[in-house]
A and B are shown apart, each in its own frame.
Chain A
């Protein structure tokens, strides 16, 4: 496994979360994401919208824990990119639009993305989202506020969390802290750190009173990175990859040119107004 010594991440502790969604709004605010049109609720409890999307990078999910037909708990989970140590999405991205930074975040670059959506297929957590509504679609997802981290600021959601449910810091330290909490709270925590080993480990570590599988996360993921399987898989059919790569490369060229034009247009319009 690669060294994680300099990687940043989150420890998300469901037992401290109150489901207030300050994180969800802070994310929209920092990333200047528009609101989605919702009706009633999009999932269990107060969940809205129904899923992550190119306009929603993080989302609180609510689960009523019922045993013998009686409610015993109400648990909240923050859904977001887990920022794998060795991300499958990055290895699946044929144009290098998705990249793993040294500081931990898995980031994307609009300029390079050709909208092929391989990353969506590769991600075990169903995180990257496509701008379905756009004439010029890209892939969008949480960046762990890479731009804030680079400037010495904590990610927006962590900053907004008032109860200590989101702790931002070095992954190694957070892992130690997670282990400490599990050990000191055998009755409070489900004894598993989701993200410690899953697909080779992730920068986001989750602990909770219930298994993350209850929130739809896959159980029994391999301990090895998926990129070790995606890479050879992609490479084992070189003809297709090269052919597809070439075709997509041309598309990318056209799309990017169009995009550049658009952005110049909007800029000049901005100047006029």
Chain B
């Protein structure tokens, strides 16, 4: 989230799209309700009338996989009717930037497409540059090559009628939400967009999010309280896991994973450090070298010297070639390309896309280690109902893990607040479950065992393991009775100064990190979260005061001061500052900034656009008359107008037009790989995103168990989702009798019209089939799904049915049922390869 949960209460108009916040992020509805009490309107856009729609003022139905049409339609409505925040666009976005005149778009393809390589050459996607190398601009937004005009032309095709024909949303409903949402283009009004996996899990997932962000920029809603672009993360600490690099393409703090062409640290830094000649651009990533060097120092300590292994042990880092995402890993596993697999808190035998192929892939392994609270379907894949255990040679180890309530550490919520959590019970306490161990203990023990093996025989490249800086207070040997010190981990993540090869105090912020080896930091973004104690930090009786053998510290994640108890803050609030920032409750990255891009919420003189709930404002009387921002932590303290607000980009302006993505600089609608329009797209000659990975057209092994269905045999659109009552792949909730009572069985939600057509009544069983497989489950017949009235490429009206299935079920536990992901495929987004779980084709018959 650019903003945070509590801030939702300040919105005037809220869109929930690609999310079912009421069911999956229940706490968010507290703040949605608070906003509604003040007169805010809630728009719910969803294929199905959900528990979120139940609280909405306007419900707009939308066929799965058509977000860009819906949002592109609103963008068109805003541009055609001048319902945009022009000053904001001119000063804070690249709307005024001139694009290479060679850039163009024709029949679904941007310039530079290479059909043979299925890839774009992005030469024409760049800015026109002036003599100093800076982008040319037209602040009047009238130049035909400026981004604003390019967008206006691009989205002119997204008329209300086109939107309706593709999404299935009635024209009047579409116009109603477009009018309502674009009311937030007024400087004193603000809207927010709440989204989740319903947005991302598509072949156009990244562009879906881009379209939301662009709409927010046109409205001038980014940086403001009650605004922003708000990803509701799917698990309590998924933000933390992303920040700490649990993804294949990043290192902690969103640094890039090196590739083979990054031959040494200097080449790598050159590759990833953006440059600008514009003195008004802060270009924060210009500091890249400091963050990577400090990370290498944290990991390899004294072994990371200026001249070791490519510079500061850079070549100890594994380098990746191509995609290493979930789908690719399982394709490789299925092809027999590796023999062992560690799975932590994840259950791909239920949650993975194309479950049949992934369960089969597990059979190809020599060994599998599962660390979990339960014997999940993944741990038990060899005894699934339809497999013969005697034919499977995989050796499975189940490591009993401690639950989140049994571990101490930080949890980073969607709003980037890292909050300290305490263990309710310690290993060895009465009531502790058998041999269960916290993850930290498991990792620590695993690493020490591994290191012992490397000591015996370092093999070809033992240095990265043997030299790793690893001491969390448990000695050299594996000891079941010694827990690693989580505070030591937190101190390392924050980072410290190095003097004479030894830690010499915590760094106070990432501004202090250096690229000369004098600082270490496990994650530059988290620098400032765990610092040395000083009287400025508060009282020693406060929750965040820590004293141990290493000294006195301020564990800012553990701060618990409500702003209501802070008289100074209350004074600012009385003067119009927004409520809920709670700067002394927990700690949030970056540098405790609660609403990011907040410099965009003020004009060039530092005056807030919104005077009633401002985030920051320039106070000329502060700092002895020099002036300073007050309120939230600003995006840099420079005087207003002297630096551009979007400090992470070299051009300092938010990108309405973005060269970085693989599938185009502006979101364009492509149909899901399985579309009810067949091979057609009413908007262009390009049916499907032209640059996605196509394992389904790949080698024989890649094609196996992964066929794509067509609309003649599979005419019904399907999507998957979660329920309030179950959690992810279900192990934690389907083993829980109370929750099993509420949602005992796998079911499919189908419309009354479809039920009548196939002759099935509520509570009877149906068989849902896709090209990959079928599931049998109960039919919940409901008016909350309705058939969509669509218009195909030839202008012919067609009726398309859609169904929905929860994906929580599996064959283990109390509440069991067929896994919905038996139906889904190994097809993913062009930029991330996140699976297209949310839109596919099926057929439904009475079972």
- A104 on the B face (CB < 8 A): no
Which one of A39-47, A94-102, A142-150 contacts B? A39-47
Q: A40-B778, A48-B743 are in contact. Are A18 and B23 (CB under 8 A)?
A: yes
Q: How far is the CA of A70 from the CA of B170 in the complex (A)?
A: 13
Q: A20-B22, A21-B724 are in contact. Are A75 and B741 (CB under 8 A)?
A: no
- B508 on the A face (CB < 8 A): no
Q: How far is the CA of A24 from the CA of B742 in the complex (A)?
A: 9
Residues in B whose Cβ lies below 8 Å from that of A25:
738-739, 742
Q: What's the least CB distance linking A156 to chain B, in Å?
A: 13
Q: What's the least CB distance linking A129 to chain B, in Å?
A: 16
Closest B residue to A56 by CB, please name it.
B741
Q: A19-B51, A74-B51, A76-B54 are in contact. Are A39 and B745 (CB under 8 A)?
A: yes
Residues in B whose Cβ lies below 8 Å from that of A15:
55
Task: Flag if B54 contacts A73 (CB, 8 Å).
Answer: yes
Closest B residue to A24 by CB, please name it.
B742
- B30 on the A face (CB < 8 A): yes
In chain A, positions 225-272 with a C-beta closer than 8 Å to chain B are none
Q: A18-B23, A18-B29, A20-B23 are in contact. Are A74 and B743 (CB under 8 A)?
A: no
Residues in B whose Cβ lies below 8 Å from that of A34:
737
Closest B residue to A14 by CB, please name it.
B54
Residues in B whose Cβ lies below 8 Å from that of A163:
22, 26, 29-30, 33
Residues in B whose Cβ lies below 8 Å from that of A38:
740-742, 744
Residues in B whose Cβ lies below 8 Å from that of A75:
54
Task: Flag if B26 contacts A162 (CB, 8 Å).
Answer: yes
Residues in B whose Cβ lies below 8 Å from that of A135:
none
Q: How far is the CA of A172 from the CA of B65 in the complex (A)?
A: 50
Partner pick for B22 among A18, A36, A164, CB 8 A cutoff: A18
Residues in B whose Cβ lies below 8 Å from that of A45:
782
Task: Flag if B784 contacts A40 (CB, 8 Å).
Answer: no
Residues in A whose Cβ lies below 8 Å from that of B784:
64, 71, 74
Q: How far is the CA of A162 from the CA of B21 in the complex (A)?
A: 12
In chain B, positions 15-43 with a C-beta closer than 8 Å to chain A are 22-23, 26-27, 29-30, 33-34
- A35 on the B face (CB < 8 A): yes
Task: Flag if A28 contacts B738 (CB, 8 Å).
Answer: yes
- A49 on the B face (CB < 8 A): yes
Q: A64-B784, A163-B29, A164-B30 are in contact. Are A48 and B55 (CB under 8 A)?
A: no
Q: What's the least CB distance linking A17 to chain B, in Å?
A: 8
Task: Flag if A46 contacts B743 (CB, 8 Å).
Answer: yes
Residues in A whose Cβ lies below 8 Å from that of B840:
none
Interface of chain B, helix or strand or loop or mixed? mixed
- A29 on the B face (CB < 8 A): yes
- B530 on the A face (CB < 8 A): no
Report, as a range, how many residues of chain A touch the other chain.
Answer: 20 to 34
Closest B residue to A41 by CB, please name it.
B780
- B812 on the A face (CB < 8 A): no
- B644 on the A face (CB < 8 A): no
Partner pick for A71 among B26, B737, B742, B783, CB 8 A cutoff: B783
Q: What's the least CB distance linking B762 to chain A, in Å?
A: 9
In chain B, positions 328-387 with a C-beta closer than 8 Å to chain A are none
Residues in B whose Cβ lies below 8 Å from that of A16:
33, 55
Residues in A whose Cβ lies below 8 Å from that of B23:
18, 20
Closest B residue to A48 by CB, please name it.
B742
Residues in B whose Cβ lies below 8 Å from that of A46:
723, 725, 742-743
How many residues of chain B have a CB within 8 Å of chain A?
34
Task: Flag if B22 contacts A35 (CB, 8 Å).
Answer: no
Q: A20-B22, A76-B54, A162-B29 are in contact. Are A41 and B738 (CB under 8 A)?
A: no
Residues in A whose Cβ lies below 8 Å from that of B34:
164
Partner pick for B747 among A35, A40, A76, CB 8 A cutoff: A40
Residues in A whose Cβ lies below 8 Å from that of B744:
38-40, 48
Q: How far is the CA of A103 from the CA of B29 in the complex (A)?
A: 31
Task: Flag if A35 contacts B51 (CB, 8 Å).
Answer: no
- A22 on the B face (CB < 8 A): yes
Task: Flag if A35 contacts B53 (CB, 8 Å).
Answer: no
- A1 on the B face (CB < 8 A): no
Partner pick for B54 among A19, A29, A164, CB 8 A cutoff: A19
Closest A residue to B777 by CB, please name it.
A40
Residues in B whose Cβ lies below 8 Å from that of A18:
22-23, 26, 29, 51-52, 54-55, 724
In chain A, positions 162-197 with a C-beta closer than 8 Å to chain B are 162-164
Closest A residue to B53 by CB, please name it.
A74
Partner pick for B49 among A28, A48, A71, CB 8 A cutoff: A71
- B786 on the A face (CB < 8 A): yes
Residues in A whose Cβ lies below 8 Å from that of B27:
162
Closest A residue to B782 by CB, please name it.
A64
- B763 on the A face (CB < 8 A): yes
In chain A, positions 37-94 with a C-beta closer than 8 Å to chain B are 37-41, 45-46, 48-49, 64, 66, 70-71, 73-76
Task: Flag if B763 contacts A40 (CB, 8 Å).
Answer: yes
Task: Flag if A66 contacts B763 (CB, 8 Å).
Answer: no
Q: What's the least CB distance linking B558 to chain A, in Å?
A: 23
Q: How far is the CA of A25 from the CA of B214 in the complex (A)?
A: 41
Q: How far is the CA of A49 from the CA of B743 in the complex (A)?
A: 10
Q: How far is the CA of A49 from the CA of B740 in the complex (A)?
A: 11
Q: How far is the CA of A46 from the CA of B50 in the complex (A)?
A: 11
Q: How far is the CA of A21 from the CA of B55 in the complex (A)?
A: 16
Residues in A whose Cβ lies below 8 Å from that of B30:
162-164
Q: What's the least CB distance linking B265 to chain A, in Å?
A: 48
Residues in A whose Cβ lies below 8 Å from that of B22:
18-20, 163
Closest A residue to B764 by CB, please name it.
A40
Q: How far is the CA of A243 from the CA of B737 in the complex (A)?
A: 45
Partner pick for B745 among A36, A40, A76, CB 8 A cutoff: A40
Q: How far is the CA of A75 from the CA of B737 in the complex (A)?
A: 26
Task: Flag if A164 contacts B49 (CB, 8 Å).
Answer: no
Task: Flag if B26 contacts A22 (CB, 8 Å).
Answer: yes
In chain B, positions 773-791 with a C-beta closer than 8 Å to chain A are 778, 780, 782-784, 786
Task: Flag if A71 contacts B54 (CB, 8 Å).
Answer: no
Task: Flag if B725 contacts A21 (CB, 8 Å).
Answer: yes
Q: What's the least CB distance linking A91 to chain B, in Å?
A: 34
Residues in A whose Cβ lies below 8 Å from that of B737:
34-35
Q: Chain B CB within 10 Å — which of A18, A49, A76 has the most?
A: A18
12 pairs of residues in contact across A and B, judged by CB atoms under 8 Å: A18-B29, A18-B52, A19-B22, A20-B23, A37-B741, A40-B778, A40-B780, A48-B744, A49-B741, A74-B49, A162-B27, A163-B33
Closest A-B pairs by Cβ, 8 of them:
A35-B737, A18-B22, A71-B783, A35-B741, A74-B54, A20-B724, A163-B29, A40-B778
Q: Which residues of B contact A (CB under 8 A)?
A: 22-23, 26-27, 29-30, 33-34, 49, 51-55, 723-725, 737-745, 747, 763, 778, 780, 782-784, 786
Other CB < 8 Å A-B pairs besides A18-B26, A41-B747, 16 of them? A16-B55, A18-B29, A18-B51, A18-B52, A19-B51, A20-B23, A21-B742, A35-B738, A38-B742, A39-B745, A41-B763, A46-B723, A46-B742, A64-B783, A162-B26, A163-B22
Q: Which residues of A contact B (CB under 8 A)?
A: 15-16, 18-22, 24-25, 28-29, 34-41, 45-46, 48-49, 64, 66, 70-71, 73-76, 162-164
